[in-house]
Amino acid sequence: MDPVNVADYEALAAQRLDPGVAGYYAGGAGDERTLRDNVDAFARRRLRPRVLVDVGAVSTATTVLGSEVAMPVLVAPTALQRLAHPDGEPGMARAAAATGTIFTLSTLATSRPREVCEHAPPAPRWFQLYAFRDAALTRALCDEAVDCGFDAIVLTVDAPRAGRRERDLRTGFAVPPDVDMPAVRAALGAGACPTPAEFFSLVDASLTWAAVERLAGELDLPVVVKGIQTAQDAALACEHGAAAVVVSNHGGRQLDGVAASIDVLPEVVDAVGGRLEVLVDGGIRRGTDVAVALALGARAVLVGRPALWGLAAAGEPGARHVLELLRDELHLALLLLGCPTPAHVTREHMG
């Protein structure tokens, strides 16, 4: 039977992936309480439909940082996509382009920005950046993304070191030597076979808000700050040049026991007060989850694991189908909520 939802793709991916890779993609930190709560928190939310509203022409289209997208569902940065399927990041970029949304390339990718551009059609793309201790390497990564026409830099700020991901410890997961990670190779040298913890030993743990402001001032691209979990940091992002923030706990992979992203979203939206766009990731598995995020003030959501599961199960077509499923589920949710567009979803639609 063909997959009919994200959970079906998750089950297929688990069957097809090597246990170490499956654990790396699916696992979280510590006891994985936050990992589970990211999903469970959506089940605690209740939607409030309005009836007798003209929903004869519903559209999921919106804009994010000025880019037109077919839906408020973007592809989050996820590492090592060629471990999921040989199509890798170029295939994921093609899937995002085919569904009219934004693809975000991870620093810890198995493809360079230039390769993605050469093997995927023109479309809005973002580049996720880890600020390395080697400032020249960080700058080189930014420069390549800018030269290749990427539309924003997504600075991840919640991972000065890797969380304790015990699934990786149990499987002894490390990147196979035949899998290239251009950014990590540039930092560690050829032949490196790093563990996830070794990835993050390269990251600059001394980063402060001054670095965000400096990056925003140096680049002609908008800077998106990913990893905001408090109202206080959301306000600081507004003051230090960010164009948008992503409410995120890194998919439950960093500090276990923090709040689910969707539970933090309202306080961040209130703190921002419309000064910049607010996005959210973590736990989104259904179009109704997207509707909840919109109702709580998100401009859009980012999905990481669901798109990866699609890629692992069926390559580029699988990733594309996952995005299509979320789009179609959201379309139906908007129609049944009495909302012709994402912009019509407000906190009045939350119980």
Pairing state between β 62-64 and 67-69? antiparallel
Conformational region of residue 251, where left means phi above 0, alpha means psi within -120 to 50, and beta covers everything else: left
DSSP 91-139: HHHHHHHHTT--EEE-TT-SS-HHHHHHHS-S--EEEEE--BSSHHHHH
| Buried-exposed string 304-328: b where 16+ CB fall within 10 A, e elsewhere | bbbbbbbbbbbbbbbbbbbbebbbe
Instruction: Tally Cβ neighbours within 10 Å of residue 103.
Output: 27
Phi then psi for residue 224, to 5 deg, are -105, 125
Residue 289: both structure tokens together: 């989850």
Q: Tell which residue, 351, 350, 326, has the closest CA to residue 60.
A: 326
Total residues belonging to the chain: 351
- Our CA angle for 28, 32, 33, nearest 5°, is 140
Q: Tell which residue, 260, 259, 224, has the closest CA to residue 245.
A: 224
Catalytic member of 85, 119, 240, 250: 250
Quote the radius of gyration of the chain (alpha carbons, Å): 19
Amino acid letter at 246? Answer: V
Residue 166: both structure tokens together: 């015990």
Active-site residue flag, 250: yes
Question: Residues 6 or more apart from 160 whose CB is under 8 A from it?
Answer: 200, 203, 204, 205, 207
Cβ proximity of 351 and 45 under 8 Å: yes
| Active-site amino acid positions | 250
